């Protein structure tokens, strides 16, 4: 009983610190919407890696073509697609002469497919600004790019990333994605991107806008060619390189359907989960234990017959609710009522970590979009 009380007391202290930091940090984030824009600025190259995206790519590019920013080229990089993606992007290129298409047939040793596609796109791009964006992102507001470029210039940034609205169709997927963002917020502290004195860097795959010079100075995607979490790593290397970074929310300007189902979310996280834990079993155990003790255990011990344990558990739950509410309000368009299912989604998240780790060892590496990348190589290159 004493050990349980000590553990819960430690968890309470952690949540006090996290709640204060998350509320303060998220209050510093600004939305892109409402900012003034500029329709004419530096020439912008938008590079879109595309692999088996026949369903999403047309709508995504058509939404981008409606942008009011004038000086743009699009480079659509077909990364060894096996569906009708090549035909789809060639049709788009015929619609607008600002679109160029690059087809990649082979994967060079040591590269992940998406990273190679982004790098190849950069090599033929002309812009002084480069935007890396995903093939399933919808640009909901025609002023998204003009506002982003204006903010980029006014803040004298080298890199700007936007947090999109993540659209989820099913209840459990909404709950799972919301919990993921909840954990991401206090684990990665995205607001630190806006603090020049902080070494914490952030990048989000839906929207990574960077100057050509900064991209080249940090080593381009060659520097992170083997990293599955390329978007995050791009932001991290920007900060490591002493560059100026910014993050804005764009919940009404950008939208992406991250996954179509909860099963799809589990499969998608196979690529990044173990990588994010540096392929370390020790960190996996620590992460799973930490999630359970901090977000599941208090919901069990609240029913304890010990008054003090029950009181401490209640305080922890209140802090979790306060923190979760703030994250959902600032980083999503979902209902804060999803918090009622938080302990269950926490267990699903623990399962996703265990599943990704197990499958990585079983396969001898990570499998992503039909390609297996050996764990031994990934571990060596992560060092």
Q: What is the DSSP string of 242-299?
A: T--EEEEEEEEEEEE---SSHHHHHHHHHHHHHHHTTT-HHHHHHHHHHHHHHHTHHH
pLDDT computed for residue 256 by the predictor: 97
* 272 pLDDT above the threshold of 60: yes
Q: Please provide the average confidence, as pLDDT, over all residues in the chain.
A: 93
Tens-digit pLDDT profile for residues 22-52: 999 999 999 999 899 998 899 999 999 999 9
* 379 pLDDT above the threshold of 90: no
pLDDT average, residue stretch 205-224:
97
Q: Exposure string (b/e) for 100-131, b if CB count within 10 Å is 16 or more? A: bbbbbeeeeeebbbbbbbbbbbbeebebebbb
DSSP string, 42-94: S-EEEEEEESS-TTTHHHHHHHHHT-S--SEEEEEEEES--SSHHHHHHHHHH
DSSP string, 220-240: GGGTTTT-S-HHHHHHHHHHH
pLDDT average, residue stretch 231-237:
94
pLDDT computed for residue 173 by the predictor: 94
Give yes or no for a contact between 325 and 45, defined as CB atoms under 8 angstroms apart. no
Q: What sign does the dihedral 232-233-238-240 (CA atoms) show?
A: positive
Residues 6+ apart with CB under 8 A from 110: 225, 226, 377, 381
CA distances (Å), 101 to each of 12, 32, 63, 82, 96, in order?
54, 30, 18, 16, 11
CA gap 155, 211 in Å, rounded: 13
User: What interhelical angle do 342-363 and 262-276 show, nearest 10?
Assistant: 70
Tens-digit pLDDT profile for residues 286-324: 999 999 999 999 999 999 989 999 999 999 999 999 999
Residue 1 pLDDT level (bands cut at 50, 70, 90): low
Residue found under tokens 């970074």:
245
Which residues sit opposite 129 in a β-bridge? 44, 211
CA gap 209, 338 in Å, rounded: 32
CA gap 199, 245 in Å, rounded: 10
Residue found under tokens 């305080």:
315
Tens-digit pLDDT profile for residues 88-122: 999 999 999 999 999 999 999 889 999 999 999 99
Question: What pTM did the predictor assign?
Answer: 0.91
Tens-digit pLDDT profile for residues 323-346: 999 999 999 999 988 999 999 999
* 164 pLDDT above the threshold of 80: yes
């Amino acid at each position: 009983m004493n050990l349980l009380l000590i553990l819960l007391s430690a968890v309470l202290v952690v949540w006090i610190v996290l709640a204060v930091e998350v509320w303060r940090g998220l209050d510093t984030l600004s939305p892109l919407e409402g900012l003034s824009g500029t329709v004419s600025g530096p020439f912008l190259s938008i590079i879109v890696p595309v692999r088996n995206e026949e369903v999403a790519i047309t709508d995504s590019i058509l939404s981008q073509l409606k942008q009011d920013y004038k000086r743009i080229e699009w480079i659509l990089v077909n990364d060894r697609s096996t569906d009708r993606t090549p035909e789809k992007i060639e049709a788009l290129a015929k619609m607008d002469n600002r679109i160029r298409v690059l087809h990649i047939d082979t994967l060079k040793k040591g590269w992940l497919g998406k990273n190679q596609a982004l790098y190849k796109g950069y090599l033929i791009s002309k812009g002084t600004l480069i935007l890396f964006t995903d093939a399933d992102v919808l640009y909901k507001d025609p002023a998204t790019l003009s506002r982003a470029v204006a903010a980029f210039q006014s803040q004298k940034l080298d890199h700007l990333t936007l947090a999109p609205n993540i659209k989820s169709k099913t209840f459990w997927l909404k709950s799972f994605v919301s919990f993921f963002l909840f954990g991401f917020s206090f684990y990665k502290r995205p607001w630190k991107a806006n603090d020049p004195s902080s070494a914490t860097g952030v990048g989000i795959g839906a929207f990574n806008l960077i100057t050509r010079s900064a991209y080249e100075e940090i080593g381009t995607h060659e520097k992170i060619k083997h990293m599955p979490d390329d978007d995050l790593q791009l932001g991290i290397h920007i900060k490591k390189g002493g560059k100026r970074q910014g993050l804005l929310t764009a919940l009404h300007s950008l939208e992406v359907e991250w996954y179509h189902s909860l099963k799809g979310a589990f499969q998608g996280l196979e690529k990044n989960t173990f990588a994010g834990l540096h392929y370390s079993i020790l960190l996996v155990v620590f992460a799973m234990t930490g999630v359970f003790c901090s977000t599941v255990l208090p919901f069990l011990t609240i029913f304890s017959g010990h008054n003090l344990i029950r009181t401490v558990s209640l305080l922890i739950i209140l802090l979790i609710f306060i923190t979760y509410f703030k994250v959902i309000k600032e980083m999503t368009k979902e209902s804060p009522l999803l918090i009622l299912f938080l302990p269950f989604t926490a267990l699903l998240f623990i399962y996703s970590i265990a599943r990704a780790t197990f499958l990585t060892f079983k396969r001898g590496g990570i499998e992503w979009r039909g390609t297996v990348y050996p764990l031994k190589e990934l571990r060596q290159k992560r060092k």
